[in-house]
Chains A and B, each alone.
Chain A
Amino acid sequence: MLGFLLSLVLSGPVMAHHSFAAFDGTKRLRLTGTVKTFQFTNPHSWIQLVVTTNDGRSEQWSIELLSPNVLLRSGWHRSSVKPGDRVTVLINPMRDGSKGGNLVAVTLANGQTLLGGAT
C-alpha cells in the first residue's frame, strides 16, 4: 500500500528542471500584451511580454514555459510566438507578487491557443 501511494506521488505532475514553488498554482492571471522576445531555450523557454497598465505605464513580464524538447514534440514551433505579436497569456503568478509567472496558456493573434505546461 505504501509503495502504491509513493508511486502516485513520484509519478504526479512533477514539472521540470526546477521547483515551481515560487508560482501560485491555485491562481490564474490573464494579461494581454506585446511579445518583446521569445526565448525558445533550455532548460526552459521564456516569453518577455510588454503590458500597458490601466494608467498607461509600460510593464515587462517574464513568463516561463517548458523546455523546447517537450514543446516541440507537442505542437509548438520556433515561430509559434514572435517579437511584436499581440498575445493574451494565462499564468500562475509569482507568489511574491513580482512581474512573472508560469504559462498555463497563450492565445495568439490568430485565435489559436497553445499550452505552456503549468497547471
Chain B
Amino acid sequence: MRAVLFAILLLGVFSAARCAEGARSTAPLVQPVPRPAHLPDGEPNWTGFWTPIGGLLDKNFGPGATIPPVDPNAAGSQEGIPPHAALKSPYKERYERQLEAAREGKVLSDPPARCLPPGMPEMMVGVYGLEILQTAGQVTITSEWGPESRRIWTDGRKHPDPDDILPSYGGHSIGYWEGDVLIADTAYVRADVRLDESGLPHSANMRLKERFHSPKPGILVDEITIDDPMAYIAPWTITKRYRYRPELNLEEYVCEENNRNVGPNGEPVFKK
C-alpha cells in the first residue's frame, strides 16, 4: 500500500515537473555536461550506457594485450560449480543432465544460440552493455545482447491477471522508487527461459525481485533475488555491478546476420 501511495505521489511530482518544463520554452535541448545527478522529477539519473564490471567489456583484446594463462578448470562453457543442490526435484535432475552433457561437449539446449532473446535475468547478468532510459512512469533497459528491451513500469500499475498475459522472455516488471533506490518485481517469465548460460532452470511461478542503487557516481548495482519456491529450496541473490560508459553507445547486434552456431533444426552446431 505504501508503495502505491509512493508511486501516486511520484506521478504527481512527474506531472508538476513536466508542466514546469513546458513553460520554459528556452530550456536547452541538449543535456548539459556534466549531467545532473538527478532528473527533474527527483529520480537518480541513470540514463546512458553501462557495462558489467569485470566482464569482457573491461578487458583489452587489442594491441598490448597479454595472452591469459591456460585455465585448467575451463571445461567449455561451464564455469564454477553451480549450486544445483539448491534445486528441487525434478528441476535438479534435469539440470544435472544438462551439466553432464556439457562436460562431454554436448549442449542440450542453447536458446540464445538460436537467436532467441536471453530473457530475464540473463540479459542483466550477461557480458554485453545495457542502455538505460528513464521516462515518466517507466525505466527502459536495453541489453546489447539480442538486443532485448525490458520496461520497468513505475506508474503504479499492477501485474496483470495470469489469464490476461502471455509469459514472455523478459517478463512483466513493475517498480517504484524508494528515495534513490529502484525496487522492481518481475513476473511471467517464460518457463523455458534459462537463468544463466549453464542452463539453470526456473518454474513458471518465478518472481524476480530487483534492487537497483548507485553506491557512488558512475557505478550501478542490481541485486536480483530469484524467488521460486517450486524450483529452489530457498530464494537466492545475484549481485551485478555496472560502470557508466558515456564514451560508448549501444551498437547494432543482429544475431541472424552470420549465425554459424545453429543447425537446420535449431540445434547448437559449429558450421565450418
Contacts and interface: CB of A to CB of B under 8 A. Distances in A.
Interface of A: 2-3, 5-26, 28, 39, 41-44, 46, 60, 62, 64, 66-76, 90, 92, 94-96, 98-100, 104-105, 112-117, 119
B272 interface: yes
A43 B79 contact: no
Interface in B188-225: 195-198
Given A21-B76, A112-B63, A117-B56, A41 B258 contact: yes
Given A17-B145, A19-B102, A66 B56 contact: yes
A70 B51 CA distance: 11
Contacts of A25: 71, 74-76
Contact of B238 (A10, A16, A18, A114): A10
B102 A75 contact: no
A13 B61 contact: no
B4 interface: no
* Main SS class of interface, B: loop
Contacts, number: 199
B236 to A, nearest CB: 5
Interface of B: 52, 54-57, 59-65, 67-68, 70-83, 86, 102, 105-107, 110, 112-113, 115, 125-129, 144-145, 195-198, 234, 236-240, 248, 251-255, 257-261, 268, 270-272
B127 A16 contact: yes
Given A39-B258, A71-B61, A18 B234 contact: no
Contacts of B272: 60, 62, 98-100
Contact of A21 (B107, B127, B238, B248): B107
Nearest to A116: B61
B253 A69 contact: yes
A23 B70 CA distance: 14
B220 to A, nearest CB: 14
Given A6-B236, A46-B258, A71-B61, A19 B251 contact: no
A46 to B, nearest CB: 7
17 contacts: A6-B83, A6-B236, A9-B80, A9-B198, A11-B238, A12-B80, A14-B126, A21-B76, A26-B72, A26-B74, A28-B70, A41-B258, A70-B57, A95-B105, A98-B272, A113-B63, A116-B61
Contact of A75 (B55, B65, B144, B271): B65
Contacts of B71: 25-26, 119
A20 to B, nearest CB: 4
Contacts of A115: 59-62, 65, 67-68
A71 B254 CA distance: 16
B106 A11 contact: no
Contacts of B82: 6, 9
A105 B59 CA distance: 14
A70 B253 CA distance: 11
Contacts of B271: 62
A26 to B, nearest CB: 6
A14 to B, nearest CB: 5
Contacts of B60: 74-75, 115
Nearest to A12: B79
B197 A62 contact: no
Contacts of B270: 22, 62, 64, 94, 98, 100
Most chain A CB neighbours (cut-off 10 Å) among B73, B75, B271: B75
